[in-house]
Amino acid sequence: MLKCPKCLSEHIIRCSYTESGKQRYLCKDCMFRTVNPIGLNYSDPAINSENVNKKIKKSLRKKRWFITSAQNATPIFEKAYDSIKQWCKANDGTLIVIPYRYRNPTSIFSDNDYEWWDERIVKHLVDKRVKLCNNLVLLGDIKVVPTALNPLTGIEGFTGSDSCILGHPHYQLRSVATRAGDMPKLMSTTGSITLPNYTNSKAGKVGDHHHTLGGVVVEWDGEYFHMRHVSFDNDGSFIDWDTLYKPDDVEDAPRVESITLGDLHQWWVDKDVDKATFGKIIPELRPKHVFIHDAIDSYSVSHHHRNDPFLKCAKHKHGLNNVRNEIKDLVEFLKERMDDDIKYHIVPSNHDDHITRYIKETDWRNDPENADFYLETALHMLRGTKVVQGGVSTPRPFDYWMNKYLPEVDIIPRDSSFELLGVEHGFHGDQGPNGARGSTMNLSKVGVKVTKGHSHCAEVKDGCYSVGVMAPKMAYASGPSSWTTSHVILYANGKRTHVHIINGRCRG
């Protein structure tokens, strides 16, 4: 938003041009004229603004965009550029490149002229702020140094409640809390099409380590946008959804390795999310593995309800206080959706452990509804408790009942690893290093790539990807929400992306 530099009014309009051709602005409140209103989007002198305006007009006529970024005085990944052209041709899309700058006196590319851009992407450069479609803004006017560790920090409010895309070679994704009824707000960086080109310093080495060759695919279905990250392979190819794009060809992609679903909380799964997940995404992508977090909510025996007499009465009235029924409902839910060709895994999660806490902390004599369940479970836990290195181990009751009712589902043990294509899938995210509470931040530092749940928010921080939730509304989560209905796909080439479901839609 432009403001008058004299009275700070936002009632600024274009009025005329100076003799040198600069745009002049008029403040309608104080009648002050200026060529430099506050908030003016200054163009990069090395980039032809006329070409940028043409590119913007062309882009706004499209419904699909491939968005990446490029560094000055640095060559592009040529094979990836050819693959992008294949994508644009197959999808009637257009390439948008957000420029960023970095002065590197030790550049391995010997040209000392820092004002050039690779000639193949010059016509695709956009260095202005553009609203691509409803609820999505391209922040082409913001240049963040490529060595920034958290490029999205500080710009949360720049686009109001609209989502935004920032040009930067370090992949990051965050969801930002919005009001009830507003669209989820996502903030994403792009990855880069230019090769790594950093100084021989700590900041430069860190930037080089996190440099990601890739981009963001955006589809517009006329009402909602749909965003996915893509990463280039060494041969310049990339996978988007079920298609492999090569420098000289387009073909069906290999079968998806896995999908990690947003936290299930089965009793509260949204019907539209359920239909999109098990009726479209999984049938289309045919993943080899499906990982489920917080499979059960444990609402029937949640310790959070112990001191709320009104809630307990409502649970009794509506049949929501029987834990065996809740487990059986989960079993039936999974049985109806499972496929013999797909292996389902349940990741140990904190809501599963609510049942453990219920057995340890309550008296079965005060809960006749669940007395039989309690006694059988407690006996199993008692007989299975054993001394191990460093203390005592007690079996998890949720695992016992799932193995009894649905043995074909794999229950990953707590504190164990499940790695696919170099990505760890065995962490829920509630437990962090050394007994600390888990988070995307601290799990991004464990030295391996991680796909986790727990936070209910789509997020990417370095090598840690966090899924959303399949139950977008929970009674305990009041106020502005950053929850998203998002899954994480692991492609056959080891690259990952989020797929976001908005009102039952996941693609444009």
Kindly list the distances between the CA atom of residue 293 and the CA atoms of 3, 116, 403, in Å, as whole numbers in the listed order.
Answer: 48, 48, 16
d(CA 489, CA 495): 8
Residue 278's pLDDT is 97
CA 81 centroid distance within chain: 24
d(CA 265, CA 197): 45
| Encoded tokens for 438 | 């888990």
- How much is the CA Rg of the chain, to the nearest whole Å? 26
Count CB-CB contacts under 10 A for residue 82.
16
Residues in the chain: 508
Torsion of CA 364, 368, 373, 376, to 10 degrees: 50
Residue at 444: amino acid letter:
S
| Phi, psi at 160, each rounded to 5° | 65, -130
One fold for 49-252 and 258-500 = yes
Write down the CATH number for the domain with range 258-500.
3.60.21
pTM of the model: 0.90
Residue 45's pLDDT is 65
* Domain residue limits, the chain: 1-40, 49-252, 258-500
3-state secondary structure 138-188: EECCCCCCCCCCCCCCCCCCCCCCCEEEECCCECEEEEECECCCCCCEEEE
> For the chain, how far is it from start to end, CA to CA, in angstroms?
30
The domain 49-252 is placed in CATH, from the list 3.60.21, 3.30.450, 3.10.450, 3.40.50, at 3.60.21
Q: Residue ranges of the chain with pLDDT lower than 50?
A: none
Nearest to 287 by CA among 260, 326, 314, 324: 260
d(CA 6, CA 16): 19
Count CB-CB contacts under 10 A for residue 299.
22
For 391-420, how does the pLDDT look when each residue is reduced to its tens digit (9 = 90+)?
999 999 999 999 999 999 999 999 899 999
What is the pairing mode between strands 33-34 and 23-27? antiparallel
The dihedral through the CA atoms of 10, 14, 15, 18 has a sign that is positive
Residue 117's pLDDT is 87
| Encoded tokens for 136 | 């999505």
CA 244 centroid distance within chain: 21
Count CB-CB contacts under 10 A for residue 437.
10
Helices (H) and strands (E) in the chain, counts: 11, 28
Torsion of CA 74, 76, 77, 78, to 10 degrees: -140
CB burial string 250-263: b at 16+ within 10 A, e below: beebeebbbbbbbb
Q: Burial of 402 by CB count in 10 Å (0-12 exposed, 13-18 middle, 19+ buried)?
A: buried
For 270-328, how does the pLDDT look when each residue is reduced to its tens digit (9 = 90+)?
999 999 999 999 999 999 999 999 999 999 999 999 999 999 999 999 999 999 999 99
d(CA 375, CA 356): 13
What is the pairing mode between strands 496-500 and 238-240? unpaired
- Residue whose entry in the numeric block shows the structure tokens 């929970």: 474
| Phi, psi at 371, each rounded to 5° | -60, -45
Residue 112's pLDDT is 53
